[in-house]
Amino acid sequence: MAKSAAAVLVVWFSLAAWAQAPAALGPGTAGIAPAWHAPRGAPLSLWRLVPVSVPAPRVRLEPAREFSPLPGTARGAAPLPAAFGPPPSVWLDTAPVSTLSRLWRGTLHLPAAAVKHWKPTAAAVLTTAALIAFVDRPVASRIANYDAEHDAKSVSNDLLLIAEPAEAVTDSLLLRREHNAWHTLVMGAFTIGYATAAMEAMKLTAGRERPYLPGDSDGAFFAGGNSFPSGHAMASFTVASFLAYRYPRHKWVAWVGYGLATAVAILRVTAKEHFPADVFFGGVMGFIVGRCAIVCR
């Protein structure tokens, strides 16, 4: 699952870079792009793209002459492309630190919060236990179509690795007037990374067997497996929850995000990669992580 999470981040920022890139430069035209290699702790500078020759479309980098403290402005240079908006001058210092700090504080306070909000905690625990005891094995034993399993696995991977990053980039572009799009993507990327680390720790602790093991699909715990919880479900619901709480005034963001996450969870069961309890618990934990990245203090 760590490889899948890495692929999510690569696709996420690849789509972001593609959307941010200015249109192809023709003869006599120039564009602006940020410089990412500023000294640590120093404000990010801006660079001008200047055509080298005509009609050759190649360009070279030349530093702007004078900088303004206002985001995205530089005297003697045109404004930055409007796609994602200007990257904050200290985004590398603030976004990861603040996001990881909220997630870590939320993790430390999770036991106390679970006791305080005992009703949803009891509902999640009892539902997971009921799925393990009465649902998991019957469902796994009834799935025996290899072609359908293969197709479901392929589609679930496509939804997680392509559709959800594309949704995040699209949402951040459409709603960039509310929040800086680059800041949103950086926060989301570190939230996914944190969720992946937590998921791997839970998998290692539970050690549940996968349902596809031939002749042994009882889903035993502490048997060296990695089925519980579902990493796909946890990552999908992390993205959905993060976006829903990032843009609470736009209900369509939540509908699209949770719809994609639910589809991924169902497909992981029909692909016989996970038991129903795995995807349910993974979805609950993903919802908590995504929410905490925004509201935990």
In this model, does residue 263 exceed pLDDT 90? yes
In this model, does residue 281 exceed pLDDT 80? yes
Q: Which of 67-71, 223-227, 286-290 has the lowest mean pLDDT?
A: 67-71
Of the two residues 82 and 69, the one the predictor is more confident about is 82
**Mean pLDDT value of segment 243-247:** 96
Lookup: tokens for 295: 């509201």
Q: pLDDT value at position 40?
A: 45
Q: pLDDT value at position 96?
A: 77
**Mean pLDDT value of segment 196-203:** 95
Instruction: Work out the mean pLDDT of the chain and round it to a whole number.
Output: 78
Q: pLDDT value at position 57?
A: 45
Q: What percent of the chain has pLDDT over 90?
A: 54
Q: pLDDT value at position 66?
A: 40
pTM equals 0.74
Given pLDDT bands bounded at 50, 70 and 90, which one contains residue 93?
low
How does pLDDT run across 203-216, given as a tens digit for each residue? 999 999 999 876 66
In this model, does residue 251 exceed pLDDT 80? yes
Q: pLDDT value at position 32?
A: 36
How does pLDDT run across 131-163, given as a tens digit for each residue? 999 999 999 888 888 899 999 999 999 999 999
Of the two residues 56 and 193, the one the predictor is more confident about is 193
In this model, does residue 34 exceed pLDDT 80? no
In this model, does residue 41 exceed pLDDT 60? no
